[in-house]
């Protein structure tokens, strides 16, 4: 095999886990059809099969399917995120956040299900574990025809509403992920080629 043969092999990318790695998209338009509740345990089970440092399994999950609560949390989260970005002084980003000020913008993209991956506040690898779980969950969702999108912009607002979300104080929100039946095709975003700093043999 020559260098590049594997990475350019489109039929290989249709097989096994590679299929979902390459077909997953951040879906921002959902059909009104609700996710079948019976599918959620599979997503959570895939999530907890992620690697976990020192086998701590620091994750726990909150599922929100209450449309009014999601709408209210969206309204709370939008100004919180704008404020957060401006505090960081990321002015370029603020311009790209104009839609966050629009009344009709829903931070959860109108998805009917939000899964919040939370970490028990312990261990320096808890967040890493939860993000690995997040990717497992999103790939599993893709494999059964569901769309997902990480909603990092909602983290602070969700952390400020732990009690309402049924989260004990010692947990923190790491990865909010919306899940739903995609409302159409989502085009792939591009990626730069991997930067290989060195390859010592």
Ligand X SMILES: Cc1cc2nc3c(=O)[nH]c(=O)nc-3n(C[C@H](O)[C@H](O)[C@H](O)COP(=O)(O)O)c2cc1C
Least distance between ligand X and beta carbon 123 (Å): 20
**Beta carbon nearer to ligand X, 61 or 131:** 131
- Write out the E strands in 65-201: 113-120, 147-150, 171-180
**Residues 127 and 119: beta-carbon distance below 8 Å:** yes
Q: Which of 61, 48, 60, 67 is nearest to 180 (CA)?
A: 67
- Binding residues for ligand X, rule CB under 6 A, total 9
**Residues 142 and 6: beta-carbon distance below 8 Å:** no
Among 189, 192, 196, 201, binds ligand X (CB under 6 A): 189
Residues of span 132-151 touching ligand X by CB under 6 A: 149-151
Site string for ligand X, 11-50 (x = CB under 6 A): --------------xx-x----------------------
Least distance between ligand X and beta carbon 47 (Å): 15
d(CA 169, CA 40): 25
**SS3 assignment, position 62:** strand
Closest residue (Cβ) to ligand X?
152
Q: Which of 186, 154, 180 is nearest to 26 (CA)?
A: 186
Residues of span 149-168 touching ligand X by CB under 6 A: 149-153
**Beta carbon nearer to ligand X, 73 or 149:** 149
User: Which residues of this chain interact with ligand X, rule CB under 6 A?
Assistant: 25-26, 28, 149-153, 189
């Amino acid at each position: 095999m020559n260098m590049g043969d594997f990475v350019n092999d489109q039929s290989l990318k249709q097989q096994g886990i590679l299929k979902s790695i390459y077909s997953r998209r951040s879906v921002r338009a959902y059909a009104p059809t609700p996710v079948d509740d019976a599918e959620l345990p599979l997503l959570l089970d895939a999530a907890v099969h992620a690697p976990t440092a020192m086998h701590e399994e620091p994750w726990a999950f909150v599922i929100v399917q209450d449309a009014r609560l999601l709408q209210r949390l969206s309204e709370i989260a939008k100004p919180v995120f704008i404020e957060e970005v401006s505090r960081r002084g990321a002015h370029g980003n603020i311009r790209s956040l104009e839609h966050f000020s629009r009344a009709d913008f829903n931070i959860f993209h109108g998805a009917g299900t939000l899964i919040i991956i939370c970490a028990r506040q312990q261990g320096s690898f808890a967040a890493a574990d939860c993000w690995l779980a997040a990717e497992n969950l999103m790939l599993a969702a893709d494999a059964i025809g569901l769309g997902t999108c990480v909603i990092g912009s909602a983290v602070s607002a969700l952390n400020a509403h732990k009690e309402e979300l049924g989260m004990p104080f010692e947990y923190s929100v790491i990865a909010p992920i919306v899940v739903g039946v995609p409302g159409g095709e989502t085009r792939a975003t591009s990626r730069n080629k991997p930067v290989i700093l060195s390859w010592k043999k």
